[in-house]
Structures are given as structure tokens and as C-alpha cells.
Amino acid sequence: MKVILVGGGGREHALAWRMAQSPTLTTLFTTHDNPGFPAAERLRNGDATALVAQAKQVEADLVVVGPEAPLADGLADALIAAGIPCFGPIAASALLETSKAFAKEIMDAASVPTAAFIRVDQTDPASVVAAKERCARGNVAVKVDGLAAGKGVFVCVTGEEALSALDEAWSGRFGDAARFLVLEDLMTGPEVSVFGLSDGERVVSLPSAQDHKRIFDGDQGPNTGGMGAYVPCPLLDRDEVEAVLDAVHRPVVAEMARRGTPFRGVLFAGLMMTPDGPRVLEFNVRFGDPECQPLMMLWDEDILPWLYGAASGELPDGRPSFADEHACCVVLASAGYPETSTKGVAIPEADTHEQVTVFHAGTTRDSAGQLRTNGGRVLGVTARGRSIRDARAQAYAAVDGWRFEGAQVRTDIAAQAID
């Protein structure tokens, strides 16, 4: 099978690494450079039209899309129109991630457990009054409807905080993305990531994961793309994940099919485990980064039939098989991340053993062959082990051999999962 992988970060390195172990893979093509990628042919960069043309030229059997942006821009639609299976949904389904108001509308229609909310429109005076009234009561999450680079959610306890979040959201800094807002009742509890692979009708489960979004230990400091993750999360075993799929992913996929916009790819539900049970915080239409890295470490069979099956509308029977082990990914980020990032810092490359894989995110190799930092999140040092304690210990032991000047590393990834 000839496969094109779209994207060049840590999540895509993990996907490439796992796909490269598939006996079904003949050639891997990539759209981005990543020094960690296995042997692959590099395609030209370009928009959806250019990618479709290249996919036809190389006679690709499957395109696997890592990030959400090309999906929101209609890459899957263009590929499907050209008869090329795409792992990743069409733009109308990618709205589950790119519009918080749309996601809430679908959850309402599909009776998915989520927080009560109102949707408000900046251009409607009555809606603005309703927004102010709701915010004044406090205990509300103010969410910008559209994509906001991870900065569009304000968690507000007091009315004052909420009213100033409303001002901030409508200050113009988010542009059209903030015309609509979702004002959601605050929920409390730990967060868990639950992934379902869908072919548009069926949904099959993967193990649960837990991410660590804040930059500093103890969940302090600003939000990041994710500073580490581990699999599985003890809050949801695989049977409990099945129950979540029954309550969340399967009704959503059925609703998308009913609307004539079937969801094919991976549906990632960010859940909060509230005292009343799991509630959906948000959807993503792609694998999590860095959750994908430990998931790929434990994926225990040929991945391509699953990705191809989802893309082509017929998943294999059963569900993907995962090693009965644990995996932990610890991210090394550049100095200044998440506000800025320092580039060009030399990265030492230590030897690792079979249980450890270092996934590259923001790295580059200079003309002398030296590996250097080239972005905010730089590396995801990922280890597997028989217990989460073991996986975590191995990941942290390997981090030391790759630590570059100014590296930011949380020391408490997966700490809460250890008895």
C-alpha cells in the first residue's frame, strides 16, 4: 500500500513510525520534513489541489491526515472527489472541532452528556444582553466558537472574571472566530482523552489517555499543546471506554451520518470525569498530540487495515489490539514556550533501547548533521513498560540523554496514575 502522511510534528512521527512497521506498506510519502521520520519520499508542499494531483501521480492508496487544519480546509473532500481514500473527515464533519457551537448542536441532537450552555451572537443585541446576564452569574466557561490557537477558552468562577472574559473574547483579537461564543456551565473533575476510529457507521475503541496541558508541574502556568501523556488512563479501562463510545462517539457518528456528512477518521472526545459521570468538554477530529505517541507505542498489530478501513468505509471486524502494557510520553519544549520558542539549540542524541522511542516534533538537522531545536515542542520521549511506574521511569531516564540547553520538562507526567 502506498500511503501519504500529511503533517510533520510529533503525532505524525508516531504515526509514521507505526505505519513503517506495517507489512502492508510499500512506500510512505510525506508532506513535511521531520528528522525522525522513517524512510519516506518527500512530496512538494502545496494546497489541497496540489496534494490531490501528487496523490494521483504516485497512485496513492491512502492519505493519512495528522492535523485538523487541512481537514477544515477540505482536503478530505478533495481527495474523496478524486477517488482517493482519506483517513480524516470531510470539512462538514471537521466542524466538530473547528466550531464549538456546532459541536454543541450535534451533542444536543445526539443526546450526548455535556454541560448546559447557551450560544451567543455578537451581532445580535438581545444575544449580547443574554451573554452578559449569564456571565454575571459566574461559574461559566466562555468559549470562542472558532479556532483560536488554544487561547479561546476562559474558565471563570466569579461574575467579574466572566464579564472581563466576555470583553476579551469580543475585543477583536479573535476576529470572526469570536462572532459566536458558547457559554457553558463549569464542570469539575479530571480530564481524560477517549478516541474512537470510525468508518462513518461503526466506531471502534482505542485505550484511554491522559494529557498534561499546562506548562509547569502541578498543572500550573499557561496552556500548551500538551507536555506529556500516558496510556491507558486508570480512570477508564477498555470496557469503560466502550461505555463512553456508546454514550458519546456512536451517537455523534450516527447523527453525522443522518445529516449526510459521515465521519471517517478518529473522533477524539476530551472528557471531564464529573461526579455525575463523564461529560464531553470538546471534540477533535484527529489524534491528540502527544496522546498519539504512547498510543502508537502500544498499538499491537498492523495499523494500516484500520486506517484504510476507516477511510474507505469498512473497518475490519473487532477492535484494534493493544499491548497489555503502559506507555508514557514526556515532552521536551524550548525555552520560552508556549509564548515564544528558541530555535537552533543543539540537541544531544543519546542511544535508546527497544522500550523507548524519541518522537521528533520541532527539530531540524543542520548541514553538518547536528540535530537542533526548531519549534516550541521539540521531542516526545516515549517509553513502554509493564506498569505505568516502569514506563514513566524509563521515559524520564531517557529524557536526560536528550536534554538540550533551556529545555522545559514537566517532572510530574503520569505521577497521578501511580498508586
Residues contributing to the site for ligand GLY (CB under 6 A)? 211, 225-226, 284, 288-289, 291
Q: Rounded to the nearest whole angstrom, what is the least distance from the CB of residue 288 to ligand GLY in the complex?
A: 4
- CA angle at residue 229 from 321 to 385, to 5 degrees? 55
In the bound state with ligand GLY, the residue whose beta carbon lies nearer, of 288 and 338, is 288
Closer residue to ligand GLY (CB): 32 or 365: 32
Is residue 22 within 8 Å of 302, Cβ to Cβ?
A: yes
Shortest distance, position 377 Cβ to ligand GLY, whole Å: 10
- Between 162 and 413, whose beta carbon lies closer to ligand GLY? 413
The nearest distance, CB 139 to ligand GLY, in angstroms, is: 24
| Bridge partners (DSSP) listed for residue 210 | 230
Smallest separation, CB 287 to ligand GLY (Å): 7
Q: Which three cell numbers stand for residue 343?
A: 530555535
Question: Per-residue DSSP letters for 293-321?
Answer: HHHHHHB-S-SHHHHHHHHHT-PPSS---
Q: Which is nearer to ligand GLY, 61 or 291 (CB)?
A: 291
* Residue with smaller CB distance to ligand GLY, 180 or 268: 268
Please, what is the minimum distance in Å from the beta carbon of residue 141 to ligand GLY? 16
Nearer to ligand GLY, 255 or 289 (CB): 289
Query: What is the spatial distance between Cα 309 and Cα 105, in angstroms, rounded to a whole number?
Result: 28
SS3 call for 69: helix
Task: Quote the least distance from Cβ 417 to ligand GLY, whole Å.
Answer: 16
Q: Give, for 243, the enclosing helix (H) or strand (E).
A: helix 238-244
Give the Cα separation of 317 and 302 in Å (integer): 14
- Spell out the residues 6+ positions from residue 379 whose beta carbon is closer than 8 angstroms to its own: 10, 331, 332, 347, 358, 359, 360, 361, 363, 402
